[in-house]
Structure 1
Amino acid sequence: MKNTPKRPLAATAILALGLALTACSNDSDSNSATGTTTPEPSAVVHGHVHGLGIDPADRRLYVASHEGIFTLGEDGAAQRVGTSQDDFMGFTIAKANTFLASGHPAHGTSGHSNHGLIQSTDSGKTWKTRSLAGEADFHALDYAHGTIYGYDSTNALLRVSKDGTDWADRANLQALDIAVSPQDPDTVLATTADGLAKSTDGGTTFAPGKQPMMAFLSWATPTALYGMDDSGGLNRSTDGGATWRKAGSVPGGQAQALTAVDDQHILAATHTGVYESRDGGNNFSKRFAVEAGDGH
């Protein structure tokens, strides 16, 4: 059975208000102003990028995409991890060798149209369903304080779980991404069509969204909250989102994913590639090229 997932209400609303991903003109593969370099032509990921992370087990970069999980092989080429060509949506690396994700089966394959929560304990080589198969489509996942926080776009719902099996349903909201404070498990931020919405009760309720407008968030340390706007502008807050300053600009235009590994190490995906900065966003190097596909 061919599965064709529909765009959820939350993403549709954000797109309509100009926050979420939109098509943009092609950008140069290099950007001398930000120190960007071009990878070998073989280091290419096809389709939309949904998530990024560094596995503490091997310190390798992993890219969750519309057509599977990729990393760099020894020859410098993009190498598929395992055999799955599924569409990996929400994605996070919880700890060494342990990945959490959601998404949809590859086109032309059978199974639930929504994976719910799936887990790999061998760095993405194989996956098992943990819960909510056929019910939830997590477009954003965050692992903090031994807890999984997931934004279920199908139901426009924040869900929280300690074990990946039993879930507590929290606030209904329309969001694109979430980030949890590394200091306080009750502080959760969400990117919405009105700006950044904040919860101080673990996601049970959110205050109305406020400027600035961000597409993606990643909270690495208490003083290193990063936000990327739709056009790739990178911003940093040292006070939990109360104030922001411009940190840099990710080359390639249209934003697709953001992960702050620590206060200086940043991974970001845009329309043209996967980029890495080790100086807080001042300079980026291109790790993968991204070629257009049928991503969501």
Structure 2
Amino acid sequence: MGKSNSVMCKLLSLTVIFSFINLQSATAASLGELSHIHNIRVHQNKIFLGTHEGLYQYFSPTKVVKIKPDSFDVMGLATNQSTLFASGHPGVNSKFAQPVGVLSSADNGVTWKQVSLKGEVDFHMLEVGKTDMYGVDSGKGDLMYSANLGKSWSNQGVNTYGDIAIDSSKAGLAFGLKKGQIYKSTDAFKSEKVIKSKLAFSAIELVGKRLYAVSGNNLYLSTNGAASWATLSTFDKSIGAISTSESMLLVAAGDKILISKDLGKSFK
């Protein structure tokens, strides 16, 4: 699996709670029947799960639907709210290369277009902004950066970040999470500066100027670039993953997926 990260490990820990069964021939199931959920992403007003068996859309705990029979192991999944991007391994009798490199979909995963790195890279962590993209090469453990939505890539060296949040207001501007602390970079992680905090974070997510961060059971919000934090919500169980769009904020806490449509004021 290459160099792991804290967010991925916590997502994979959800599969201990979710049952381990084979769904390769299934198209619909409940959340508890899925195995190996690698990613949970809010894309516009929809929720997608990147799994070992392919891409699923989440509707409720009792209804998740596979997007397309021609599946691949969706190890990396990202969205800039206009396009889905993915990376991983091909499924049985799949037309995709091994590894698939970087794929994009403009129709919610119904069809995929090859972007780059076909047969070269399997990104286990994938993040995308307006134009910037970051991916962690599972084979080498390197952090790779693209300034043109994955068309071309540069190697930034060995990855040291567990999560990355891209600020699309300027090329190369991003926040990285390392050993519980948030680092800011203005040059695509060629250099970095720590933003000191007494809190230890495990996941970060940015939409506009709203930077969300997870610490244990708590969800925090910063609107000043991580200079200060306000507690947004506290959950009964530890938070494993977060994802957000302009209209929706998702938290995976324990074995539940909780959704807010009022900027995190309430979840259900």
Does TM-score exceed 0.5, indicating one fold?
yes
Pick one of 254, 265, 268 that aligns with 1:282.
265
Give the stretch that moved more between structures: 161-170 or 174-183: 161-170
Pick one of 222, 242, 251 that aligns with 1:268.
251
2:132 matches 1:132: no
Pick one of 56, 61, 68 that aligns with 1:82.
68
Distance in 2 between residues matched to 1:167 and 1:143, nearest whole Å: 13
Contact residue 132 and residue 168 of structure 2 kept, 8 A: no
Distance in 1 between residues matched to 2:207 and 2:188, nearest whole Å: 18
Q: How many residues align?
A: 251
Contact residue 88 and residue 102 of structure 1 kept, 8 A: yes
Distance in 1 between residues matched to 2:126 and 2:120, nearest whole Å: 16
Instruction: Give RMSD over aligned pairs.
Output: 3.3
- % identical equivalent positions: 23
Contact residue 158 and residue 203 of structure 1 kept, 8 A: no
SS in 2 for 1:64: strand
Distance in 2 between residues matched to 1:283 and 1:160, nearest whole Å: 36
Alignment-mate amino acid for residue 34 of structure 2? H
Distance in 2 between residues matched to 1:270 and 1:85, nearest whole Å: 27
Structure 1 73/243 Cα, relative in aligned 2: closer, same or farther at 3 Å? closer
Alignment-mate amino acid for residue 67 of structure 2? V
Counterpart position of 1:258: 242
Pick one of 152, 175, 184 that aligns with 2:137.
152
Structure 1 110/125 Cα, relative in aligned 2: closer, same or farther at 3 Å? closer
Structure 1 179/117 Cα, relative in aligned 2: closer, same or farther at 3 Å? same
Alignment-mate amino acid for residue 2 of structure 2? P
Pick one of 206, 213, 216 that aligns with 2:200.
213
Alignment-mate amino acid for residue 225 of structure 1? L
Q: Show structure 1 runs of 5+ residues with no match.
A: 1-6, 28-40, 286-296
SS in 1 for 2:100: coil
Pick one of 31, 34, 43 that aligns with 1:54.
43
Alignment-mate amino acid for residue 266 of structure 2? N
Distance in 1 between residues matched to 2:204 and 2:252, nearest whole Å: 12
Summarize deviations over 1:138-166 as a string: whole Å, max 9, x none: 23333323332333344331312404221
TM-score (norm 1): 0.71
- 1:174-193 equivalent positions in 2, closer than 5 A: 174-193=160-179
Deviation at residue 118 of structure 1 after TM alignment: 1.3
Q: Show structure 2 runs of 5+ residues with no match.
A: 18-28
Counterpart position of 1:9: 3
TM-score (norm 2): 0.77
Counterpart position of 1:238: 223
Contact residue 85 and residue 104 of structure 2 kept, 8 A: yes
Summarize deviations over 1:219-261 as a string: whole Å, max 9, x none: 1112x100123x4421111111122222113554350x32221
Distance in 2 between residues matched to 1:151 and 1:198, nearest whole Å: 18
Alignment-mate amino acid for residue 164 of structure 2? I
Give the stretch that moved more between structures: 177-186 or 109-118: 109-118
Deviation at residue 80 of structure 1 after TM alignment: 0.8
Alignment-mate amino acid for residue 226 of structure 1? Y
Distance in 2 between residues matched to 1:78 and 1:114, nearest whole Å: 26
Contact residue 132 and residue 149 of structure 2 kept, 8 A: yes
